[in-house]
A and B are shown apart, each in its own frame.
Chain A
Amino acid sequence: MLHRLLSGDLPRSRVLAVLLILIVAGLFLVPFIFPGAKALDVAAKICIFIVLVASFDLLLGYTGIVSFAHTMFFGIGAYGVAIALTRLGPTWTAVAAGAGLALLVSLALSLVIGLFSLRVKAMFYAMITLAVATAFQTLASQLSDFTGGEDGLSIRVPELLTSAFPEVPRLFLGVALNGKIISYYLLAATTVVLFLVMLRIVNSPFGRVLQAIRENEFRAEALGYKTVIYRTASNVLSALFATLAGVLLALWLHYNGPDTSLSFEIMIDLLLMVVIGGMGTMYGSVVGATIFLLAQNYLQDLMKVASRGLSGVPVLRDLVHPDRWLLWLGVLFILSVYRFPAGIVGKLRMKAVVKP
């Protein structure tokens, strides 16, 4: 059962298995163990980014295609739902219509960009995706009648997902089961399903061909695999899952704008999460997204505490001042990439092979 659910791709390391169980259990219990809006918000972001990072890993880690247009598809999903909800009102039909249209747009765009990938070398392909993504970002902020421009769109979501629902929420273990909690659990459940689907894809015969293409495209061709088809399919699939992550983002935030889904900063975060977690491992997306977002959201708080504790020590006090949190975040990432070039999951699995 577990074997089928995880597509035969078990963690293969005890430490990793424990880590994954902790993360999943933590995510599902957040409303009960960490009350407060911030914790729930960070947990929801982790879920959304697990989907986004996993979809990027499908392309980068498994197929070996470097693309900078991944946030574009994320944005298309978020804008699709946001625009549909603004125009059609807060109904589930609007959500479905927005998501459906967004998927169609992503399908068409990724197909076109994917076909480019056959014509040009890896580096130029990366440049093309960068150009397309930048153009799209400009377009999104210029078409302000549609997209709300730089301000973005604040949206009203179906009533079930709002914190005002129901009027008198039931209490469960001291937590009010309102629309916010419902929408968090819907989000978490969707994340699990999407992740397992992607895990299945990379462990299918098709997924094995993707890895063969990453390793030696010329040889894959000689074996009889039409790499054109596989590379394009990988591009399209990865774009569609990113679009779905975007849909989840807009529904969670009740808002979408260029900075929340399209910005190049998110693209860089995404790259870091994939690399920290471990490219080509899928589980890396869970570990990478969790560690990155926890650090991004809580490092500053942690430093505030440390700084107060060290208020008597002159240099140290300044070093851990909360304003320096970005510096320390950077140091953490450099260290982790330096210490774990294969990512955390890659490293754990290697260790597990050495000492069984």
Chain B
Amino acid sequence: MTFALETRELTIRFGGHVAVNAVSCGFAPGTLTAIVGPNGAGKTTYFNLISGQLKASAGSVHLQGHDISGLSAPQRSHKGIGRAFQLTNLFPNLSVMENIRLAVQSRAGMGLNMWSIWSSHKDLIRRAEEVLETVALTAKRDLAAAALPHGDQRKLEVAILMALQPDIFMFDEPTAGMSVDEVPVILDLIRGLKTQGDKTILLVEHKMDVVRELADRIIVLHNGALVADGDPAEVIASPIVQEAYLGIEVAK
């Protein structure tokens, strides 16, 4: 079968340090794959290689079977790879609404339109309002993104990704630093994506209960290498994960 997304022997070196080491892995549409591993295992770097923020030293990235290793981040975004960032990465002085509208506008391919008034494109605004509704930020639409509390900023980060309507969704610890009552909003959104059936979802997450609940499959990165891959229950139970990732919990 053709994977929606596949990495082949994907590697990046920073000087002598191999941050991601020959990771080969395919991701099927309609599945949610959780990527786990200790801090510094290379999870975020692996994401950066897929979405194009970093260029691989060796190996390749394939989208629907086509090699996209040579494409830039914006080109990959247009091909349908969407990315939410671990460290909140917004347009701080623009309004919540504008943060999302810019994503909708990019998706619509309207960026180079110089002669119309932005506010006359009501369809873009309506679409942004819909997304705003899904993350329950409608009441805060006119606030500057920087003025939002941390949890809302995380929601906005996810909302921007939703607004891009990609085929591949990459979430990098979407619930990090969120208060307990805010987490369900994000989880519901991700669950909703899963039920659409054709989206490929990659999720980096530390909270094992979240992983257990959402993941169809878990892969484990350790020192940049893929060390385990399979059914969530199996992977979590495997000795290598117990030692490499859950070691601290076991020691307790």
Known: A211-B91, A225-B111. 9 other contacts (CB 8 A): A205-B116, A207-B114, A208-B118, A216-B89, A218-B89, A224-B74, A224-B106, A224-B164, A225-B106
Nearest chain B residue, comparing its CB with the CB of A219: B89
Q: Considering only CB atoms, which chain B residue lies closest to A216 in the complex?
A: B91
Q: Contact between B83 and A208 (Cβ–Cβ < 8 Å)?
A: no
Least CB distance, A253 to chain B, in whole angstroms: 31
Is the CB–CB distance between A206 and B74 below 8 Å? Answer: no
B102 A229 Cβ-Cβ under 8 A: no
The docked-state distance in angstroms from the alpha carbon of A216 to that of B85 is 13
B102→A209 contact, CB < 8 A? yes
Smallest CB-CB A-B distances: 4 pairs: A224-B77, A215-B91, A224-B106, A206-B114
Least CB distance from B207 to A in Å reads: 24
B159 within 8 Å of A (CB atoms): no
Chain A interface size, as a band, is: 20 to 34
Query: Is the pair A222, B73 in contact by a Cβ cutoff of 8 Å?
Result: yes
Closest CB of chain A to B51's CB: distance in Å? 7
Check B102 against A204 for contact (C-beta < 8 Å): no
The reply to whether B89 and A209 form a contact with Cβ atoms under 8 Å apart is no
Q: How many residues of B contact A (CB 8 A)?
A: 37
Instruction: List 20 interface pairs A-B (beta carbons < 8 Å), by A numbering.
Output: A4-B117, A8-B120, A200-B114, A200-B117, A204-B118, A205-B113, A205-B116, A205-B118, A206-B111, A208-B102, A208-B105, A211-B94, A212-B94, A219-B85, A221-B73, A222-B85, A223-B103, A224-B107, A225-B106, A226-B75
Residues of A contacting B78 in the complex (Cβ-Cβ under 8 angstroms): 224
Q: Kindly provide the distance from the CB of B71 to the nearest chain A CB, expressed in whole angstroms.
A: 11
B14 at the interface (CB under 8 A from A): no
Interface residues of B in 144-203 (CB under 8 A from A): 160, 164
Instruction: Establish whether residues B111 and A203, one from each chain, have CB atoms under 8 Å apart when the complex forms.
Output: no
A219 to B93, CA, bound (A): 13
Instruction: Mark contacts of A245-256 with chain B using CB atoms, 8 A cut-off: 1 yes-contact digit, 0 otherwise.
Output: 000000000000
Distance from A32 Cβ to chain B, minimum over Cβ atoms (Å): 35
Known: A216-B89, A224-B164, A230-B111. Is A208-B98 also a contact (CB below 8 A)? yes
Q: Taking the complex as formed, is B53 at the interface, i.e. its CB lies under 8 A from any CB of chain A?
A: yes
Docked Cα-Cα span, A303 to B77, in Å, equals: 61
Q: How far is the CB of B156 from chain A (nearest CB, A)?
A: 11
Task: Decide if A225 touches B120 in the complex (CB within 8 Å).
Answer: no
Contacts of B83 in A (CB 8 A): 222
Q: Is the CB of B91 within 8 A of A205?
A: no
Given A222-B73, A224-B77, A224-B106, A7 and B117 contact (CB-CB distance below 8 Å): yes
Cβ of B106: which chain A residues have Cβ within 8 Å of it?
A: 223-225
- In the bound complex, do residue A209 and residue B74 qualify as a contact, i.e. CB atoms below 8 Å apart? no
Q: Which of A208, A212, A222, A229 is the most central at the interface, judged by chain B CB atoms within 10 Å of its CB? A: A222
* Interface membership of A201, Cβ < 8 A: yes
